[in-house]
Amino acid sequence: MNKELCVLVCGVGERASAVARRLIGEGYATVLHQERPPRSLRRRMCYADAWFDGVAALGGVEARRADRPSEFLCGMQTRQFLPLLLRPFDEVVERWPWDVIVSAPDHDERPPRALADLAELTIGVGSGFVAGSDCDLVVATDGLDPGAVLRAGDAPPNPRGADRLALDYWDVIAAREGTFAARKTIGDRIDAEEILGFLGEEPVRAPVAGRLSGLARPEQTALPGAPIAEIATSDRAPVAGVADRNKLIARGVSFAVEMEAGGWTPVSIGSR
């Protein structure tokens, strides 16, 4: 196992954050990349806030925005935090000899770009990647075996709505464009019809009772029909930390990196 490997994890959503947190915990020099402002709602379950605030913590591991080369190198060398790069992807790839590149978009993020030949090992997490074509390996995220490593083919997609339904989450949708000013914080218990905040001057009320699991950033304009908050209606639904499924996904990525670095061939679970 070569812990000197340099790993670039693309994204700051729940999946990418879980993967990066696992890899730095395993001792790899791990860096996050997010070029555009993230629109993640579950901000206590990922590193999205680091893009805006400069720092965010997840399960005791920090991500820090690396605006200067010295900050990037400090994180790489010490493994004390995850540097977050905001520069264009092509520039980030060209200016550092990455051993591994992992792209781990969440369900509601746009389809990923091809990773083939950008590093010694490229891994696509979730549907939208084809192992052996636009990346070396695919790690499954849905179905009965999240974290399964595929050496050929792609992982089956799972609609975002089905994920929300299975975990008892309820989206609060913006009725119009505007700035959402929240009056609650993530983790708060709320009643149905309780005011969550204001979209412009119009109050936004909770459609159901539960715990507030997600909130849009105040800097970002709310778009009509897009979620601006999320409510967990079940006590089993997490609102902070790494979800169990994402832990399995992160373990699968870590396993693939370890096996490839050691010259072993990961078990192929199959392909579609």
Domain locations in the chain as residue ranges: 6-158+243-261, 168-232
Q: Is the pLDDT of residue 208 over 60?
A: yes
Per-residue pLDDT at 94: 95
Residue 26: closest CA among 270, 271, 256? 256
Q: What percent of the chain has pLDDT over 90?
A: 77
Closest CA to 44 of 195, 264, 243: 243
pLDDT surpasses 80 at 163: no
Pick the range with the lowest mean pLDDT from 66-70, 118-122, 149-153.
Answer: 149-153
pTM for the predicted model, two decimal places: 0.90
User: Mean per-residue pLDDT for 151-165?
Assistant: 62
CATH number of the 6-158+243-261 domain:
3.40.50
Which CATH number is 168-232's, of 3.40.50.970, 3.40.50.10790, 2.60.120.200, 2.40.50.100? Answer: 2.40.50.100
Q: What are phi and psi of 29, to 5 degrees?
A: -75, 105
CB 9 within 8 A of CB 102: yes
Angle at 141 between CA 37 and CA 236, to 5 degrees: 85
Q: At 271, is the pLDDT very low, low, confident or very high (cuts 50, 70, 90)? A: very low
Domains 6-158+243-261 and 168-232 share a fold: no
